[in-house]
Amino acid sequence: MTTVTAPATPRERVARLAAGHIAALQRGYLDDQPHAVAALARLRRGAGREAGQLPDLWALIDTGPLHETPDGARPLSENELIRAEDALHVALTLYALHQQSRRTGMYQADRPGRRRGLGAAVRRMMKPGEIDEPVHKRLVRAGTAPDLTVLAQRLRDIVVLLRREDIELDHAQLAGQLYTWQWPGGADTVRREWGRSFHAWHGKPTDGKSPSAGPDTTSTTEIDKDAS
């Protein structure tokens, strides 16, 4: 029996491309390769700014694979390409800011048992069992951003805090979310994902016992509620 694999969605293609770019940059930076160090320095200048404001960065973010058509897939439309390119710009520039002066990789993939999504990263800045309202409000404000430019600026503020605390983030996953954000109804989808990520991470209790495997009784849509 032949298994047919569905072609990657545009969002998946954005996330995979971001993962490839960021992983390569991270390896080079941690190995002190001059080209990677210089590339991150240039990318940092774009954090929180629109993609078109810094033409100098265009050569650093190779979007060529987005213009290719994988087997079984369709070409991306002009609107899809624009949103994909903008999402990549924001994700890569935020990663460059996050990695600055850190000698361990700030990009880590999100997976079960090792949550590195945005919501989980914000939660890790808080003490186990407590909600730090000023930090939580930053996530809420990001969730209520009216457009991608404002969202990038608010995410920049969060990334600065994550860098200060040496907390990793899945920037590739974030790239896919930024792509989705730009479509009608996409912001609601991404807010729900951030809410689930926020509540999926459990810190080590102060008594040294393992976190409870029971369900979290707090709603995963808290971000939406706070934003209303």
Q: Considering the domain boundaries, does residue 207 fall inside one?
A: no
Report which residue type is found at 193. E
CA dist 141 and 212 (Å) reads 30
211 or 74: which leads in pLDDT: 74
Provide the CB-side half-sphere exposure for 26 (13 A, CA). Answer: 25
Cα 152 to Cα 181: distance, rounded to the nearest angstrom: 11
Tokens representing 20 are 């490839």
* Share of residues in the chain with pLDDT > 70 (%): 86
pLDDT in tens, 71-130: 888 899 999 999 999 999 999 999 999 999 999 999 999 998 899 999 999 999 998 888
CATH (domain of 139): 1.10.520.40
What are the φ and ψ backbone dihedral angles of 92, each rounded to 5 degrees? -70, -40
Identify whether 117 is part of a domain: yes
**pLDDT at residue 93 in the model:** 96
Classify residue 143: in a domain, yes or no.
Answer: yes
Which one has a higher pLDDT value, 153 or 4? Answer: 153
Q: What is the pTM of this model?
A: 0.86
Range of the domain at 83: 10-202+216-227
pLDDT at 145: 96
**Does residue 19 fall inside a structural domain?**
yes
Q: Specify whether the CB–CB gap between 192 and 177 falls below 8 A.
A: no
Instruction: Give a yes or no: residue 3 inside a domain.
Output: no
Residues with Cβ within 8 Å of 38's Cβ and at least 6 positions away in sequence, in order, are: none
Residue 211 domain flag: no
Q: Is residue 4 domain-resident?
A: no
Q: Is residue 73 part of a domain?
A: yes
Domain count, the chain: 1
Mean predicted confidence (pLDDT) in 195-214: 59
